[in-house]
Amino acid sequence: MPKDKTSFKLIANNKKAYHDYFIEDKYEAGISLFGTEIKSLRMGKCSIKESYIRIENGEVFIVGMHISPYEKGNIFNKDPLRTRKLLLHRQEIRKLGGKITEKGYTLVPLQVYLKGSLCKVEIGLAKGKKLYDKRQDIAKKDMKREAEREFKVRNL
């Protein structure tokens, strides 16, 4: 039976990116991987907390993405922290390259997920937050949590 192309399985999520940056635009990119890496990803062994994205010579790379070695991979396993190429259309790469040359913009990975049989990365075009912006976000989150708590107490 053919697999459903719309199936979605989240592997890794970068919550810290939403705390540290304003995400202005999102892109979906494929990753160039080896066989044992995709097997490890299917088992959910991936971390993008310390990773970032860089553009060099018209190509996009993700640096610092940790994919744990596959247990049964022996000699075929690659370095868990190696730089991996991301697959985007040329016009998207040019557009992103123009944006990150502006002051304050950067590219951060937001999610790694399986879409059908393919592994994808969601990239965010981000602008750094100042300390007072982070404090405002925390205050809003606390107010929302408090309101939900009061609502829950009233409806019991």
Predicted confidence (pLDDT) at residue 3 exceeds the cutoff of 80: no
pLDDT band at 1 (very low <50, low <70, confident <90, very high): very low
Predicted confidence (pLDDT) at residue 11 exceeds the cutoff of 80: yes
Per residue in 23-35, pLDDT (tens digit) is 888 999 999 887 7
Please state the rounded mean pLDDT for residues 72-96. 80
Per residue in 110-156, pLDDT (tens digit) is 988 988 888 889 998 888 877 777 888 888 888 889 888 888 777 76
- Which residue stretches of the chain are H helix? 15-20, 35-42, 90-100, 131-154
Predicted confidence (pLDDT) at residue 42 exceeds the cutoff of 80: yes
Say if residues 108 and 17 touch (Cβ distance below 8 Å): yes
In the chain, what are the domain boundaries? 8-129
Could you please state the CATH topology (level 3) that the domain comprising 8-129 is classified under: Small Protein B; Chain: A; (2.40.280)
- In angstroms, the Cα distances linking 137 to 16, 123, 127, 144 are 13, 22, 15, 11
Q: For residues 60 and 95, what is the distance between their CA atoms, to the nearest angstrom?
A: 12
Nearest CA-CA partner of 5 in 124, 122, 120: 120
Percent share of the chain, pLDDT over 90: 6
Contacts of 3 (CB under 8 A, 6+ apart): 116, 117
pLDDT band at 89 (very low <50, low <70, confident <90, very high): very high
Say if residues 143 and 125 touch (Cβ distance below 8 Å): no
Please state the rounded mean pLDDT for residues 11-40. 85
